[in-house]
Chains A and B, each alone.
Chain A
Amino acid sequence: MTAELPLDPAVVARARRLAAKAAQPVVDLARSHTTVSVERATLRLAGLTGADPDGIPWVNRLADAVQEQVGIEHGIALPVFHALKDFPDLDRLAHAAAADGVRFSLPSGPDAETARGHARAAVQHGFDRIDRSRSRRDELVAEIGDPPQRPWIYLIVATGDIYEDIPQAQAAARAGADVIAVIRSTGQSLLDYVPEGATREGFAGTYATGENFRLMRAALDETSREVGRYIRLTNYASGLCMPEIAALAGMHRLDMMLNDSMYGILFRDINPIRTFVDQRFSRQVHARAGIIINTGEDNYLTTADAVEAAHTVTVSQLLNERFAHEAGLPDPLLGLGHAFEINPEVPESFRLELAHALLARQLFPDAPLKWMPPTKHMTGDVFRGNLLDGFFNLAGVMTGQSILLVGMMTEAVVTPWLSDRDIALQNVRYVLNACAGLAEDFHPPRDGFIAGRANQVLGEAVDLLAKIVDDGLLNAIADGTFGIMKRPADGGRGLDGVAKRADDYWNPAAAELDRTSPDQDAAQKEAVR
C-alpha cells in the first residue's frame, strides 16, 4: 500500500477525458492508413522468413514488389495470396518477385474470395504461434513463479554479440535480475528492415532479430528454472519496423517490449504518421501476446528539464494510456515510464522526485510502472553516481514502483562492466532489504510539499492537454511540446512507406486484431453499464 495524495478525482477524470480527445484524431489517422511495415508484419505472421544474399528479408523483397506494382493502399495480402496460386509457397513467390518474375494484381469475385481464405488461414498460423507463446508463458510463470518482490529488477545487456549476451544475461539473472533487456544496436531503429538470423556484431547493442529472440528466450528459460523465478525478456518495438518486431516478439515469447507512442517521432525523427500507424498495430499485437509494453517518458527528461517539464511526462503517460487502451492493452500490460532525472543540485530535489513518482503511482494504480534511473546528471564521478542511484532506488521503494531499471554509476562513462553491474545490484539489494516495507510508513501530509507539488504537476498537465486538444496533437509535436524536439507531420523518416487506406483495404491480421483487441475504455464503460 503506497501513500495517498489528495488528488481531486474530477481533475483526474478531466485529464483522462482530454487525453482521449487529444488522442482521437491520431487514432483515426492510424485506422485510416497503412504502412509498409504493417504489411510486412502481416507477411511475417503468415510465416515468411529468411533473407536474400544481401541480407534483405524476403518480406521486404515481396512487399516492395507489390508496392511497386499495385501499391499498399489495398493491403498487400490480397495481391500476394492471389499470386500464390502459381507457387508452392510464400518463399518461392518472394524469390520470384525479387527477380521481377511475378505480375501482381488485385483479384475480384471468386478469385478474391479464394485469396482471402488462404491469407486468413496463413495469418492465423502466426496468431496461433502468438497464442501458444502466451499460454506457455502463463504455464512457466505458474510452474516456476514470479519474482518474490516488487519492484522487479530490470537489467540491461548490450555486447553486440548474441552469444556473448547470453552468458551475461544468465549471470545477471543469477545475480538478481528479474527482467533482462537486450539493448539494440545503435541505428537499428532507422533500418527499414529487420536483420535476419543470429548476429554477432552490433554497435552499442545487439540487433533485434527473430533468431536472437529465440536464442535468448531459450537460454533464460533454462536460467529461470535454475533460479526459481521466471526471468522476463525485453526488447524494443520501436523505429521503422515496430509492427514486425512486435510480431516477432509475440511469436518468440518476449515478455516486455519498449513501445512508446511518440519516442520514434521525437528522438529518431521518424515521420509522425508512420509512427502512429505502426504504433497502433504493434500495440494490438502486444495486447494479443500478453506482452507488457514499456513507454519512454523518461527520455523527455533527458533533454528537457525534469522539474519544468514534469507535467509533459504526465501528459505523455495519459496519452500512452489512451493509445494503449484503444489498442486493446489492459492496465496490467501498461508499463508507463518515468524517471529520476532532476538535477541533484536543485534544492529539495528528492522531495520533488517523490512527488512526481507518487503522482504517477496514484494516477495509474494497476499499471506496472517502470522507474528509470538518473542518466542526465551522471557526470563520470562514479562515487556520487552510486549515491544518486541509491536515492533513486529509495524513491522507487517508497513510492511502490513496479519495475526498476538498475542504474549504473558508470552511466555516461562506459557500457556497464561486470563489476559495475555487481555494485549496482548490491545498491538495489541494500535498499530493498533495508526498506522493503517503508511505503507503509510513508504518508506525506495532505497539505505538505509533496502533495502540493503533485497537484501542481497534475494541474499543469491538464492545462497542456487542453492546449493539445485545441492545437491538435500533431501540431503540438511539430511545435516541440515534448522533449523540446520539433517534428512536423510531413517530415521525418519513413513517410514514403505510408499510404492512406483505399476503400477496399483488406488486411487479415489487422482485421483479426481489431476483432480480438477491443478498446479497453469502451469495454470498461460497457461493463459498468
Chain B
Amino acid sequence: MSRIIRPYGDTTGDGMVQLSFTLPVPHDKRAEGAALQLAAKMGLDGAMLVHAKAIGEGYTFFVVYGASTHLVNLDEVKVVEKDYPHLSPKEVNDAIRERLGRKLCVVGACIGTDAHTVGIDAILNIKGVAGEKGLEYYRELRVVNLGAQVAVPDLVNRAVDEEADAVLVSQVVTQKDAHLHNTREMAAAFREALPPGRRPLLVVGGPRFDEGAATELGVDRIFTRGTTPSDVASYLVHRLVTSREAAA
C-alpha cells in the first residue's frame, strides 16, 4: 500500500478538501477573487467558491472546495507513540496493590488564572468522561483535586505535604500562551523545591498542547484532546510502578 497519501473526496487521489474562512472586505467580485487567490496560495488546485456571504459591514465569509496539491508521506510523520500498555481500572488497582503495596497519590489542579476545571475534573472526578469513571473511582489511587486557579507555590507545597507520586495539571486557557508559561513555571518550581529522586511525576493536559513538547516544557508527559482517565492511570502505573520495578 502506498505510504504517500492525499486527501480523499470521493475518488482515490482526488485530493479534495473543504475550507471556510472570513476576509475583512465587503462582499463583491473582488472579494471572491481574493478568496480564490488565497485558496490557490494555500495549495488548492481548481478551487471552487461554493458559498460567499457578507457578515456585518466589511467582512465576507467563504466556503471553498479544491484539490490539495500537497502530498504526505506517512513514513515521515512524527508522533508520540503510546509507549505503555493500556490497563483497565482493575488492572491498575491490582498493579498498584501488588507491586507498590500502598496507595498511589495524585494531586491535581488548574494553575495560574485558569478557572476552567472541565479538563482536570473529567480526569479526576468520579463522574469521569466519555463513559469512563475518573481517577477518584480507582480504589488504589488517592486523589487530591485542588480545583481552579491554584498558585504554583501552593501546588508545590501541597504536593510535598501529600507526598504526591504524581501531579496532574490541566490548562485550558491558552490566550497569550498562558498554558505554556504556567507549565514552565510549575516545572521550574518543582525542580527548585525537590531533588530529582523525590520529585513527583509531572503530567500536564489540555486541548492545545503539543504532545512532543514535554521535554521542552520540563514535564514528564503531556496529554491532549481525547485523553481518558484510564489513559492517565495506565501511564501512571507504567511510570511509577512497572518501570521503576524494572529499573530496580
Contacts and interface: CB of A to CB of B under 8 A. Distances in A.
Interface of A: 160, 171, 174-175, 185-187, 189-190, 203-204, 267-269, 302-305, 376, 380, 412, 417-419, 422-423, 484-485
B31 to A, nearest CB: 14
Contacts, number: 62
B225 A380 contact: yes
Contacts of A269: 147-148
Interface residues of B, number: 28
B125 A187 contact: no
8 contacts: A186-B114, A186-B173, A203-B176, A302-B118, A303-B125, A304-B127, A412-B207, A422-B56
B20 interface: yes
B63 to A, nearest CB: 10
Given A204-B173, A303-B125, A380-B225, A186 B55 contact: no
A304 B125 CA distance: 10
B146 to A, nearest CB: 9
Interface in B36-62: 53, 55-57, 59, 61
Contact of B22 (A304, A376, A418, A484): A418
B167 to A, nearest CB: 19
A287 B147 CA distance: 33
B55 A422 contact: yes
Given A186-B115, A418-B59, A203 B175 contact: yes
Given A186-B173, A190-B149, A303-B127, 18 more contacts: A160-B175, A171-B56, A187-B113, A203-B113, A203-B175, A203-B176, A203-B178, A267-B117, A268-B149, A269-B147, A302-B118, A303-B118, A303-B125, A304-B127, A376-B118, A417-B22, A484-B125, A484-B127
Interface in B139-155: 147-149
B61 A422 contact: yes
B116 interface: yes
Contacts of A267: 115, 117, 148
Contact of B20 (A175, A302, A380, A419): A419
Nearest to B136: A484
A203 B57 CA distance: 27
B32 interface: no
B165 interface: no
B37 to A, nearest CB: 19
Contacts of B61: 419, 422-423
A419 B63 CA distance: 11
Contacts of A485: 147
A302 B122 CA distance: 10
Interface string B78-120: 0000000000000000000000000000000000011111100
Contacts of A174: 56
Contacts of A412: 207
A197 B72 CA distance: 52
Given A187-B115, A268-B148, A484-B127, A419 B225 contact: no
B126 interface: yes
Nearest to A304: B127
A267 B125 CA distance: 13
Nearest to B118: A302
Contacts of B147: 269, 485
A167 to B, nearest CB: 9
Nearest to B117: A267
Contacts of A417: 22
Contacts of A418: 22, 55-56, 59
A269 B127 CA distance: 19
Contacts of A305: 127
A171 B55 CA distance: 9
Nearest to A172: B56
B72 to A, nearest CB: 21
Contacts of B117: 267
Contacts of A268: 115, 148-149
Residue of B61, B115, B175 with most partner-chain A CB within 10 A:
B115
Contacts of B118: 302-303, 376
